[in-house]
Structure 1
Amino acid sequence: MKEQREMLQYLQKLEEKGGEILTDRQEIVALDKRRNDDRVGMRALQKQKSDKCWITVGPLLLKMNSDEAEELLLQDQKDCDIEVTKLRSNLKVKVNELRDLEYMPPVSGLMLKPMSNAEMSAINQLIGRQ
């Protein structure tokens, strides 16, 4: 009886961690879509010639100055970028935690970080590029 309870708790932990990973991935996709919609909206604002525009904010439809609307879209795009970056970094940790629960080795290369500009310039100097 005790072994069955432990097995159920183990499986519950696995399912919870897997659910968190799937939820984070869905949220990343939704934020990417929102960021792309912001990009489309900013491009449409840049193409139009009028000073006022209509913009939807949640369920509301507002008429506002085009410059203010563009700033609003730009700020939303920056917020989405920050949130996606946070989710992606947390996702790496959660995937490794899930693999630990499954008694599997961590995914190789998952925690790689890009090289900084200083590191890239040093490598370019070593190989002879300017």
Structure 2
Amino acid sequence: MDDQVKILKYLVSAEKLAEEILSDRREIVLLDKRRNQNREALRNITKTGQRKCWLTVGSVLIKHDLEATKTLLVADQKQLDIDINKLRSDLKVKVNNLRDLEIQPPVPGLMLVPMSQKETRSLSSAGLFS
């Protein structure tokens, strides 16, 4: 009976973590789709020669100043980038935690981060990196 309880707890925790991973992946896809729509909107705004544009806020259409709309879209793009990057970094940790639960080694190269500009300059000045 005790073994069954342990197995059940293990399965519940693994399924819960797997569901969180799938949920995060779906959220990343939705946020990326929204980010692409914002990018398209910014591109279309720069092409137009008008001073005002129509903006949807929920289900309401508002005629808004073009420069203020650009500012809103750029701020939204920055926030979306932050949210997507946070979800992606959390996703890496969750995947490794799930693999730990499954008694598998971590995914090789999953936690790699790019070198900073300072590190790149240091290696270039030392002649180790071109």
TM-score > 0.5 by shorter chain: yes
Q: Across the two proteins, how many residue pairs are aligned to each other?
A: 129
DSSP-derived class of the 2:54 partner? strand
Shift of 1:6: 1.8
Match of 2:98 in 1: 98
Q: Provide the rounded CA distance (Å) in 2 between the counterparts of 1:77 and 1:55.
A: 16
Q: Any residues of structure 2 matched to 1:79-94 within 5 Å, and which?
A: 79-94=79-94
Deviation at 1:127, TM superposition (A): 4.7
8 Å Cα contact 2:24-2:91 kept in structure 1 = yes
RMSD across aligned C-alpha pairs, in angstroms? 1.3
Q: Which residue matches 2:12?
A: 12
The yes-or-no answer on 1:66 pairing with 2:66 is yes
Cα deviation for residue 128 of structure 1 reads 7.5
1:23 maps onto 2:42 in alignment: no
**Structure 1 gap segments, 5+ residues each:** none
Matches of 2:108 and 2:53 in 1, distance apart?
A: 49
Mark the CA change 1:100 to 1:128 in structure 2 (over 3 Å): closer, same or farther: closer
TM-score by length of structure 2 reads 0.93
SS of the counterpart of 1:110? Answer: coil
TM-superposed CA distance for 1:98, in Å, is 0.3
Equivalent residue for 2:45?
45
Q: Does residue 32 of the first structure (1) align with residue 42 of the second (2)? A: no
Structure 2: 5+ residue runs without aligned partners? none
For the residue of structure 2 that corresponds to 1:112, the secondary structure is coil
Could you say what secondary structure the match of 2:83 adopts?
helix
- The whole-number CA distance in structure 2 between the counterparts of 1:16 and 1:33 is 26
